[in-house]
Amino acid sequence: MTLIRISRPRRAISVLLLLLAGAGASHFVLGQSGRNSQSDKSDKRPPARVKPVPPPPLQGGVPDSKQKPDPDSGQETLRIHSDLVTVVAAVAPPKGVTGRLGRDDFEIFEDGVKQEVSDFARDADVELRMVMLYDTSSSVATRIGFERRAAAKFFERVMRPQDQAALFSVATDVVVLQDFTSRVSLLTKATKQLRAKGATSLYDAIYLASDYLKPSKGRHVIVIVSDGGDTTSGKDLKEALAAAQQADAVIYAIFTGNLSPSLNVQDLAAERALATLTTETGGEVYRPKLNPEASDEQIDDQSIRELDSVFERLADQLRTQYTLGFYSSNEARDGKFRKLTVKVKKPGYAVRARSGYYAPKG
């Protein structure tokens, strides 16, 4: 076992990397105590990180070339390249309309300039790489048992043999309970390790999950199960969002906080933060109507049905996505943020996609 501990002034941060011989699994922990005052903000440094082990290559591989496929082959292949901009789009058709869309049904605009959609794939053609961030802070202690059972069912619904997912526990520390795996049994087993304790470092978790996803190819998705509050992160909302955008990650959130009219200021701020994270990356916030009295000891059937229904809707959305790719007509490698707009040419379709991306630099 190898132990790495890193510390720095003003904020005690530790990172643990456990390498289990023969098991191929890695764990890291981001720990933090205390918070800086406003006057300390200029001295804030990024949290120490350990680069995670990337997942195995995708089955079948993905071409890494600008060469276009044979037009006579009848096949459409998603190519991954350093300059290829990928956009995952979730499409809602008009009521009563069925059928799948094709490449020519989509339009992409970058900073108002129309781009050529050079790559196209449906969800079935592109492997899923997903990180679930599970809030295990003390504020969710009474619900964590029945919430994790719903999460286990979600993995069963959404995972295919070519997909991989990881599970993070988010409290004061951010812990990788399960590395990338396609085995639902391991993910289900990991949910049983979830224990409520401590505060919440949600933004740190998003930052680390984004870094965790970066080396892998495929659709990048982060699923947050939380009330959205953050109390102990070294990163802020803006930094967490930028990390997700740079990792081409779509964020979905299942809000487990209080939905009653008596929401306090922190609850409203938490909901707004989740809305920002999801809207800007092309995801969505789901708000199950959980009985505020529901707990592990006194489980409410309606709460269970609500949570299962929300996870099922999320699974359905992940199974009906399109992945689009284009090479920007703006060749400047300036690292600046560029605004994206995705449209479907057919009337009545609603499209959800990320608001923009950061251009290559250098």
* Spatial contact of 15 and 49, defined as CB atoms under 8 Å apart: yes
Contacts of 131 by beta carbon, 8 Å cutoff, 6+ apart: 165, 166, 167, 168, 209, 212, 213, 221, 222, 223
Domain-located, residue 181 = yes
Region of 290 on the Ramachandran plot (φ > 0 left; ψ -120 to 50 alpha; else beta)? beta
- As a whole number of angstroms, the distance between CA 107 and CA 18 comes to 46
* Bridge partners for 286 per DSSP: 254
Q: Say what the pLDDT of residue 119 is.
A: 93
Are residues 219 and 92 part of one domain?
Answer: no
Are residues 118 and 141 part of one domain?
Answer: no
Domain-located, residue 145 = yes
Angle at 109 between CA 104 and CA 114, to 5 degrees: 70
Q: Say what the pLDDT of residue 60 is.
A: 34
Evaluate if residue 300 carries a pLDDT over 50. Answer: yes
Structure token pair of residue 76: 């459409």
Are residues 248 and 116 part of one domain?
Answer: no
Q: Say what the pLDDT of residue 11 is.
A: 36
The total of structural domains in the chain comes to: 2
Structure token pair of residue 228: 């959205």
* Spatial contact of 327 and 110, defined as CB atoms under 8 Å apart: no
Q: What is the pLDDT of residues 214-262, one digit of tens each?
A: 999 899 999 999 988 899 999 999 999 999 999 999 999 998 876 555 5
Are residues 235 and 95 part of one domain?
Answer: no
CATH code of the domain containing 131: 3.40.50.410
Are residues 291 and 278 part of one domain?
Answer: yes
Domain-located, residue 37 = no
- As a whole number of angstroms, the distance between CA 138 and CA 171 comes to 8
* Spatial contact of 338 and 359, defined as CB atoms under 8 Å apart: yes
Are residues 148 and 104 part of one domain?
Answer: no
Q: What is the pLDDT of residues 185-196, one digit of tens each?
A: 999 999 989 888
Domain-located, residue 314 = yes
- As a whole number of angstroms, the distance between CA 124 and CA 194 comes to 31
Domain-located, residue 283 = yes
Domain-located, residue 34 = no
Position with higher pLDDT, 65 vs 55:
55
Handedness of CA 134, 138, 143, 148 (dihedral sign): positive
Q: Is 197 helix (H, G, I), strand (E, B) or coil?
A: coil
Q: Say what the pLDDT of residue 167 is.
A: 96
Residue with tokens 């409520």: 196
Exposure on the CB side of residue 348, measured as CA atoms within 13 A:
6
Rounded mean pLDDT of 326-340? 95
* Range from 62-66, 138-142, 153-157, 177-181 carrying the lowest mean pLDDT: 62-66
Are residues 179 and 147 part of one domain?
Answer: yes
Domain that holds residue 191: 127-318
How far is residue 251 CA from its own chain's centroid?
A: 4
Are residues 245 and 144 part of one domain?
Answer: yes
Are residues 135 and 177 part of one domain?
Answer: yes
Are residues 245 and 348 part of one domain?
Answer: no
* Spatial contact of 34 and 44, defined as CB atoms under 8 Å apart: no
Rg (CA), the chain: 21
Are residues 311 and 212 part of one domain?
Answer: yes
Contacts of 331 by beta carbon, 8 Å cutoff, 6+ apart: none
Are residues 282 and 134 part of one domain?
Answer: yes
Element (H, E) at 325: strand 321-327
Torsions phi, psi of 249, nearest 5? -100, 135
